[in-house]
Amino acid sequence: MQNKRLFFLIIFLLLIVFCNTQEIQFNKVDQNTKLNEGPYVFWGDGDATIKYILNDNVVTQDIAVSGEGIFSFKLEGLEGNFEIASFQPEIYPSSFSDISKFFVISDIHGQFDRMVELLKNNRIIDANLDWAWGNGHLIILGDVFDRGDKVTECLWLIHKLEMQANDWSGKVHYLLGNHEIMVLQNELQYVNEKYKKTAELMNMSLGEIYSPNSEFGRWLRTKHTIIKLNDVLFVHAGIHPKLSYYNYNYQAVNNSIRNNIDSTKDKIKYNELLNFLFGNDGPLWYRGYFMDTKTSHQIKQDELLHLLGEMGVNKIVVGHTIQDFINPFFKDNVIPVDTNIQTGNKGEALLYENGIYYRVKANTDREQLIFK
């Protein structure tokens, strides 16, 4: 009896130590493990320079890029096949109608494995991580960056799927979140240690790694903040009723944010509209749809309906504020989808197919959302 108790006590203590170690490792780089990371592509005149890190060493490789085309390359020590297009990435329209199916995943925060699990088990991608959803629309609702340590893997996958989906008349919409903007503006509060080490080894700031002449940087700078599919609006955080005062539609929001990512802090601060768009009440940060959040303004039902009416939609899908599961509220006008993927072992996605909405899990369980 005594021995049995001791045995369980030891197991219990070991579990505590194990769990704590897991927690501690979440945002740390193991100093004894050599870093393999990248690749990062930088565009020059008629050529591209690829930089990546192999066993803590920066490897630089130039590739000649002649004419307009898609170039594929593999790199020693890094998994996967990488594809880049020599032409400028396209800015997609921000509104689509007659879409028969869409899948929304939000706030991935570098949790590549969880993202793959959700996409693969729900057959958006196949076993080779290639596009398998025909003419479906995949919406990545912002905040791929920060916290986790597989941001680059996430970016390359989304980048590839976007090109592949186009071939099937499908689309991948990667919307900007507050963490995309922070990294592009070289704000490092939430950056995983791994990427600080990467920047240090490459002798560049993170802002330079994602500069407009980098592949990721120029691609991210084509992205929208708000899109509309059928009668549904998608935005990372939420839209403050104040937007109506500015008489600004979502296309104007998209252009203003895109055109000012590289504006100085002062320019944004002293321009009332830009200050709003990039600030706490703007579409990348606003939390006023949710109770119990620090917000300058808790939105009211009539304000929300007015806003949705102005935008010509009857639902809005948002991420950014963590929920236990996908559960529409505000008389089903708001569908929140940030379900804590950032932990690495949680998180759901929203699926719309044949006129029906589902919350889907990584294990393929799906539950129809019943609207009242």
Q: Which residues bind to Zn ion, rule: CB under 5 A?
A: 143, 177-178, 320
Instruction: Give the β-pairing of 70-74 and 47-54.
Output: unpaired
Q: Residue 11 corresponds to which amino acid?
A: I
Alpha helices in the chain (DSSP H): 2-25, 112-121, 151-167, 178-184, 193-202, 206-209, 215-220, 250-260, 265-270, 272-278, 301-311
Euclidean distance between CA atoms 5 and 75, whole angstroms: 53
Task: Please state, in angstroms and rounded to a whole number, the distance separating the CA atoms of residues 234 and 319.
Answer: 9
Min dist. Cβ of residue 40 to Zn ion (A): 24
Q: Which two tokens stand for residue 367?
A: 């539950």
Residue 282 or 328 having the CB closest to Zn ion: 282
**What are the residues facing 58 on neighbouring strands?**
53
Q: How far is the CB of 243 from Zn ion (least distance, A)?
A: 18
| Dist. CA 257–CA 154, nearest whole Å | 23
Using the minimum distance from each CB to Zn ion, give the nearer residue, 8 or 26: 26
- The nearer residue to Zn ion, 101 or 224, going by C-beta atoms, is 224
Taking the complex as a whole, the smallest distance from the CB of residue 359 to Zn ion amounts, in Å, to 20
Q: Which is nearer to Zn ion, 170 or 177 (CB)?
A: 177
The DSSP line for 129-194 is S-B--TT-EEEE-S--SSSSS-HHHHHHHHHHHHHHHHHTT-EEEE---HHHHHHHTT--TT--HH
* Ordered strands of the 37-43 beta sheet: 37-43, 47-54, 57-64
3-state SS, one letter per residue, for 305-327? HHHHHHHCCCEEEECCCCCCCCC
Alpha-carbon distance 34 to 55, whole Å? 5
Given the complex with Zn ion, which of 221 and 320 has the nearer CB atom? Answer: 320
Q: What is the DSSP string of 206-224?
A: HHHHTSTTBHHHHHHTT--
Closer Cβ to Zn ion, 82 or 145, answer by number: 145
Give dist(CA 185, CA 210) in Å, integer. 9
**From the CB of 141, what's the least distance to Zn ion, in Å?**
9
Q: Rounded to the nearest whole angstrom, what is the least distance from the CB of residue 25 to Zn ion in the complex? A: 23
Strand 315-318 and strand 334-336: the pairing is: parallel
Find the residue with minimal CB distance to Zn ion: 320
Identify whether the C-beta of residue 246 lies closer than 8 Å to the C-beta of residue 276: yes
Nearer to Zn ion, 215 or 295 (CB): 295
Nearer to Zn ion, 170 or 283 (CB): 283
101 vs 114 by CB, closer to Zn ion: 114
Q: From the CB of 100, what's the least distance to Zn ion, in Å?
A: 29
Amino acid at 123: R
